[in-house]
A and B are shown apart, each in its own frame.
Chain A
Amino acid sequence: MAQAKFLKEADLAAWLGELAKGRKVLVPQKDGDAVVFKPWHEGVKPVLDRQATESPKKAVFPASEKLFRFSYIKDPENPGKVRVELEEPEKPEPALVFGGRPCDARGFLIFDRVYDSPKTRDSYYVARREATAFVTLACPEASNTCFCHAVGSGPADTAGSDALMTPVEGGYVLEAISPKGEELLKSPLLSDAGDKLAQAERVKAQAVESLPPAPDFAGSPEALMARFDDMGFWENASAKCISCGACTYLCPTCYCFSITDEESGMKGVRMRSWDNCMSYQFTLEASGHNPRPTKAHRLKNRVGHKFSYYPLIHKGAIACCGCGRCIKSCPVSVDIREIVTMAIEAAPTAEESAQPQGAKQ
């Protein structure tokens, strides 16, 4: 492993200043009562002592992104004839997400399997992904809603990060995880970590201890499949859900989008924007038919996608990083852990499992 470095708390602003040369540095900062990722500039104090309200996913997957601009040009000779001119968007600028948590960085691994696979390569996504680095803060303490350890991660998980920083007395220990991270740690402001590294290891171990026992999600793919046709189960599980999209928009692993043409007069942009499976319009077909007409169908999809359908096609990888934002910021405290556990506990009866799947109803 590369050498570990130490950054004095007092040098944090200076280091951010160095990092912000030539790239956009997104740091968690206060905005009203929320903590959101916004570009750092002189004077901004990153909020590092708590998990941010939103995930930093917009750094790689913007809430709305221009795919291209278009304009209609009338032929002066023949006004009935119209030509369309397209214009590509600018290349994404280099960016750094600073002070996100391990769950935030890990979220993009879930995106990668979908947007950067041998079968499909989303050029917009890949360009931003390559332009973005992650300096991640290991969590010194877990929150009530954290369950990273139940989805194969942990408060000091390095997956998806380029460098990991761990808070220790007087500053941070920094460890490079990737070549990108090694570059970032070359600053003269950083010194050798020396015995601070041992302190960092203790902080990481304490964080693991602060987590409550992990719910056991092994078997969730099959358990949720077994409940697929049991709409009674889903009506009960979704009774209090108000079917808004807060959970999906705050989630570091939700990656669905919608495409609209936003035009005015003869010009416009084709835009890709966040969409979410909790919305009625998400699966509304042009015919007017909607295969997911109720919130029960929609919540089934959200939970099923993360804990069943995705793992079934991606070698068991759960599409949730356990950040807990969907629980913490849900207006009515819907708890995804509880729903998955309920599905696992509602193991199909012998009679049910003897039936071919989908035979019910």
Chain B
Amino acid sequence: MSVIDELKSAIKAKLSELDLVIGWGPGFDPLHATPLFMRCEKDVDKLLWGPLNVHNPATYLPGLKGKKVGVVVKGCDSRSVIELLQEKLVKREELVIFGAPCAGVIDMGKVRRALGDLDKVNAVSIEGDNVVVTAGGKQHTLPLAEVAADKCGRCRYHNALISDVFVGEHLPPSVEQDDYADVEAFESQSLEERNAYWKREMQRCIRCYACRNACPLCVCRDHCIAQSRDPHWIGQGDNVGDKWMFQMIHAQHLAGRCTECGECQRACPVGIPLLALKRKLNKEIKELFDYEAGVDPNACPPLQSFKVEEEHINERGW
């Protein structure tokens, strides 16, 4: 049985015990999948699994507290679930987790760059290591490795790290270690260059907060500092200063909690490379605390705990 058929029958077998199961279904065109909320067998028949399943369904979990929810996860999504469990934002007994090996998802930005735009896609098929996209009558054969999300190239967790039902064969990690080479390359630029880069990027931010609302761990949402009037932390102007301030706070609040699922960046309608900010902070967390978010359900994120003496910070030696 194929992975998708196994998944479907595993979900159907559990459906009667659950209020709903979250996965992915077909969207408005063949390139866009969309989160699917399954409540009956007919819904389950629409389930998709594969490189178009770009969304992280863990994002919905904190909002569904009190319900019995099934969730289908890729490896990276499972890390968000773990982080939510660690932070007690969801309850393990309210969840049934369905996992399968994930070989990678595509980055719509890369496909857009290859096609010019994504407006006229008529057909998409996965043929071996390629994704074949027909748009405006023209066929484009794009190697999956080239249009995959960057996170997939450095993925060490293709298989859900936590699951109640796992179907399919485990995949080996893509790399042994995340060397944060992208962050280091950026860090090698001068402060002025880095500042200019972010000023340019943030200028087109429309302050829609899709980055925030798509993030599974950005859980203040309705009570976010970005829009609070009292206290009025951040101005409402259309200026880089206030937009940047929000991103800095978002990044700080996610330090050591961010599982690098990339939803913030994927959700941004104007393509601001937000994941780089989160990776920078995670690199610091890794160096300071030797800690990686969303791997161990029993661990506590370092910035949510307190130790008189940190093992990796030589406080007395200064």
Contact = CB atoms under 8 A, between A and B. Distances in A.
A191 B115 CA distance: 35
B136 interface: yes
A331 B121 CA distance: 18
Interface string A324-361: 00011101111100100000000000000000000000
A3 interface: no
Contact of A239 (B37, B203, B227, B266): B37
B270 A331 contact: no
A23 B138 CA distance: 40
Contacts of B33: 333
Contacts of B222: 280-281
Contacts of A332: 34-35, 55, 214
B207 A32 contact: no
Interface string B198-231: 0001011011111011100000011100011100
B204 A331 contact: no
B236 interface: yes
B266 A143 contact: no
Contacts of B120: 141, 143-144
For chain A, what secondary structure do more than half of its interface residues adopt (helix, strand, loop), or is it mixed?
Answer: loop
Interface string B31-53: 01111110000000000000000
Given A242-B59, A260-B229, A260-B232, A273 B119 contact: no
B193 to A, nearest CB: 17
A90 to B, nearest CB: 16
A85 B239 CA distance: 25
B267 A33 contact: no
A187 to B, nearest CB: 30
Interface string B109-143: 10011001111110000000000000010000000
Interface string B80-93: 00000000000000
Interface residues of A, number: 47
A258 B228 CA distance: 12
Contact of A331 (B37, B214, B227): B214
Interface string A311-328: 000000000000000011
Given A143-B120, A145-B119, A331-B210, A33 B28 contact: no
A32 B274 CA distance: 13
Interface string A264-294: 0000000101101001110000000000000
A49 B116 CA distance: 9
A71 interface: no
A62 B263 CA distance: 28
Interface stretch (A10-18, A165-173, A245-253, A302-310): A245-253
A77 interface: no
B119 A143 contact: yes
A50 interface: yes
Given A33-B113, A144-B119, A331-B214, A63 B37 contact: no
Nearest to B230: A286
Contact of B270 (A53, A145, A279): A53
Nearest to B30: A144
A246 B117 contact: no
Contact of A273 (B118, B204, B236, B266): B236
B266 A331 contact: yes
B204 A36 contact: yes
A153 interface: no
B47 to A, nearest CB: 14
Interface of A: 31-34, 36, 49-51, 53-54, 62-64, 141, 143-145, 236, 239-240, 242-246, 248-250, 258, 260, 262, 271, 273-274, 276, 279-281, 327-329, 331-335, 338
28 contacts: A32-B271, A32-B273, A33-B109, A49-B116, A53-B269, A53-B270, A62-B238, A64-B238, A141-B120, A236-B37, A240-B34, A244-B214, A245-B208, A246-B267, A249-B206, A260-B229, A271-B235, A273-B238, A276-B208, A279-B209, A279-B227, A281-B222, A327-B28, A328-B118, A331-B210, A331-B213, A332-B55, A335-B28
